[in-house]
Amino acid sequence: MTGKSKGALQYDDLAAWLIEEIPELEDAYKREMEWWGQERPGPHIIFGDVLTPYIILLLESGERTQATKRVFSVLETMLADHDIEVQSVAVVTVFERLVGNRDWLRSMKAFAGPRAREAVRDLIEGSESERDW
């Protein structure tokens, strides 16, 4: 990870930081930016339209273990940040989508760090998915 991941993350810079941390997303990011044209989409859109589909691909393939570990390390870094907006991108945009599918939920358990596990537990508490976690 880059040096940026060791300090406080900046909400407005999350998209650029994401591509630094997971460079294989650069092509998808560029396509997303082209689609938006002159507008600059916020982090929730980039993480939802670029990162989350990549995570789903990784979880469904059952391969690329190192890539999956790296992605969940990025999410763990976000959850550890002091800025609630940064944490919110991970929880609201990424984890809320992933917990809606039991197969993804079961698959990501092996990669989730302690903060991610807590965030997911909070999201699924009292739901049928709780037993899958």
Q: Is the pLDDT score of 130 beyond 90?
A: no
Phi, psi of 39 (to 5 degrees): -75, 150
Q: Is the pLDDT score of 4 beyond 80?
A: no
Q: How far apart are CA 11 and CA 17, in angstroms?
A: 10
pLDDT at 3: 40
pLDDT at 63: 79
More confident residue, 128 or 24: 24
* Mean pLDDT score, 86-103: 95
Tokens 């999410």 -> residue:
75
pLDDT at 123: 94
> Would you place residue 64 in the very low, low, confident or very high pLDDT band (cuts 50, 70, 90)?
confident
Distances (CA, A) of 7 to 75, 76, 83, 96, 121: 14, 13, 11, 26, 26
Convert the pLDDT of each residue in 26-43 to its tens digit: 999 999 999 999 999 999
